[in-house]
Structure 1
Amino acid sequence: MKKFILLSFLLLATVSGFAKAPKNQYVRIKTTYGEVIIRLYNQTPKHRDNFVKLAKQGFYNGTLFHRVIQNFMIQGGDPDSKTAKPGQELGNGDVGYTVPAEFNDSLFHKRGVLAAARDDNPAKASSGCQFYITEGKRFTDGKLDTLENTRMKGRKVPAWQREWYKSVGGVPHLDQNYTVYGEVVSGIDMVDRIAAVKKDAKDRPLEDVSMTVELLTNKECRQMDKLLNIE
């Protein structure tokens, strides 16, 4: 009997060791305004892996959403924000490296995407740590036409993306300029609440909005895949 129990245990351990791997990695960002769960895109592996690495290190815990603009986005991830004094200008902190741009025609700045901040560099390489989440707004065809001819310098928004921008909203003029590498799949209200807080002339919230960032476990990621019908 003891031998049977031992063999059963070993069989169970072996089977569980080969549990189906999740299709996607998900992360949770928590603030006093709520929390979001974000699916990191597999189409942008360099950005995905870099974000996972920093999250594992606890890099983002205690950093602030230091720049918020309603109907546009909320930005965070500056390491200097952990110890910033009230009113201190933020946005220049970094980790000493950049991530090569990973543009993809299927990934665009619809409402709720995670994207990489960057400085003004010809290669459009991303900051190694700073990111933003879009709140955005809805557009009409006329306003999209105007954007194409002005801020987008003639680049056309594909018809299927236009439908998203008209019905869900987003920030179309950022497409193909900043790398999009994830999207909110739960808790988008947190973004709306943070975007609406009172702020100073440099768009920093008057009251600090700190965050913690954690990776969902493989089990949780598989559950999210199933919930989102990603098999």
Structure 2
Amino acid sequence: MKHVALSFFVVLSTVAFAQKKTKKAEVVTIHTSFGDMAAILHEQTPLHKANFLKLAKEHFYDSLLFHRIIENFMIQGGDPNSKNAKPGDRLGGGGGNMERIPAEFRPDLFHKKGALAAARDNNPEKKSSACQFYIVQGKVYNDTELDAQLRRAVGTRQATPAQREVYKTIGGTPHLDGNYTVFGQVISGISVLDSIAHQRRDGSDRPLKDVRMSMSVEKMKKKKIAKRYGYRFE
């Protein structure tokens, strides 16, 4: 398969610019037969942001599947092998010939519901797949359950009071914090996420009926994004 990931020597030279406060941001819309999910990509994770935008703009994701779904956990897609996969084919290993992305863990970016995060294999540096991603559905936890979940996170992570409140009211998957890079957030279409996660699946967690995606990118003023989607930039 053609190598489509960014060279990170090139990306690193643009990080300083990506981290600057800007008046505009890209909204990535993931189109599915269940509806659309709109997401923003975090400026704090410039390598992942640049890579994902490049692939989306090049239509890399168009016709790929959400090939792995687990209700109350997450939905995963972006395996290039899924484009022409037959029913029952095992998926999840595609994209391994693409350059992995260095981890960009940020304590303020956590696995709340709707978080867009990078999948990865078991490489020791926890580098991300260059193409596979997942969207967190998760569930709501009480204090006891949340403490147990956070003990599974890297370094027995101490969530802030605000983050704990999110996990207790909106939900998420706290045990993934510090293990996988969160680089975006769904800001519209959460019901679409729930619908996809609820679909029937086989023993490999692949939906019995294919759920295909396509993506579009629109650069908008942050004020317009805030007005349209109710999202507040930090």
**Aligned partner of residue 224 in structure 2, secondary structure:** helix
Partner of residue 93, structure 1: 94
Partner of residue 156, structure 2: 154
Q: Which amino acid aligns with 1:175?
A: D
Q: Which amino acid aligns with 2:168?
A: K
| 1:142 correspondence with 2:147 | no
For each residue in 1:51-89, what CA deviation from the matched residue of structure 2 results, as whole angstroms up to 9, or x when unmatched? 010011110000000000000000000000000010000
For each residue in 1:134-161, what CA deviation from the matched residue of structure 2 results, as whole angstroms up to 9, or x when unmatched? 0010000011122234565633322221
Q: Residues 145 and 230 (structure 1 numbering): CA distance in 2 closer, same or farther, change over 3 Å?
A: closer
Once residues 49 and 156 of structure 2 are traced to their aligned partners in structure 1, the CA distance between those partners, rounded to angstroms, is 30
Partner of residue 67, structure 1: 68
How many residue pairs are counted as aligned between the two chains?
210
Asked if the contact 2:74/2:138 (under 8 Å) is kept, the reply is yes
For each residue in 1:90-136, what CA deviation from the matched residue of structure 2 results, as whole angstroms up to 9, or x when unmatched? 00000511000001110000000100000001111000000000001
Asked if the contact 1:24/1:41 (under 8 Å) is kept, the reply is no
| 1:172 correspondence with 2:174 | yes
Question: Which residue of the other structure, out of 178, 191, 194, is the alignment partner of 2:196?
Answer: 194
| 1:47 correspondence with 2:52 | no
Q: Indicate the larger mover: 56-65 or 152-161.
A: 152-161
Please report the RMSD computed on the Cα atoms of aligned residues, expressed in angstroms: 1.8
Partner of residue 105, structure 1: 107
Partner of residue 123, structure 2: 121
**Aligned partner of residue 83 in structure 2, secondary structure:** helix
For each residue in 1:15-36, what CA deviation from the matched residue of structure 2 results, as whole angstroms up to 9, or x when unmatched? xxxxxx7432110000001111
Once residues 135 and 76 of structure 1 are traced to their aligned partners in structure 2, the CA distance between those partners, rounded to angstroms, is 14
Q: Indicate the larger mover: 141-150 or 61-70.
A: 141-150
Partner of residue 15, structure 1: none
Once residues 156 and 22 of structure 1 are traced to their aligned partners in structure 2, the CA distance between those partners, rounded to angstroms, is 32
Task: Name the one with the larger helix percent.
Answer: 1
Q: Which amino acid aligns with 2:184?
A: G
Once residues 43 and 33 of structure 2 are traced to their aligned partners in structure 1, the CA distance between those partners, rounded to angstroms, is 29
Q: Which amino acid aligns with 1:99?
A: I
Asked if the contact 1:24/1:225 (under 8 Å) is kept, the reply is no
Once residues 182 and 232 of structure 2 are traced to their aligned partners in structure 1, the CA distance between those partners, rounded to angstroms, is 22
Once residues 67 and 33 of structure 2 are traced to their aligned partners in structure 1, the CA distance between those partners, rounded to angstroms, is 14
Taking structure 2 as the reference length, the TM-score comes to: 0.85
Partner of residue 206, structure 1: 208
Taking structure 1 as the reference length, the TM-score comes to: 0.86
Q: Residues 116 and 150 (structure 1 numbering): CA distance in 2 closer, same or farther, change over 3 Å?
A: closer
Once residues 156 and 37 of structure 1 are traced to their aligned partners in structure 2, the CA distance between those partners, rounded to angstroms, is 30
Q: Residues 62 and 138 (structure 1 numbering): CA distance in 2 closer, same or farther, change over 3 Å?
A: same
Deviation at 1:229, TM superposition (A): 4.9
**Aligned partner of residue 24 in structure 2, secondary structure:** coil
Gaps of 5+ in 2: 1-21
Q: Which amino acid aligns with 2:128?
A: S
Identity between Structure 1 and Structure 2 (%): 50
Once residues 219 and 24 of structure 2 are traced to their aligned partners in structure 1, the CA distance between those partners, rounded to angstroms, is 12
Partner of residue 82, structure 1: 83
Q: Which amino acid aligns with 2:46?
A: P
Q: Which amino acid aligns with 1:154?
A: T
Once residues 149 and 230 of structure 1 are traced to their aligned partners in structure 2, the CA distance between those partners, rounded to angstroms, is 29
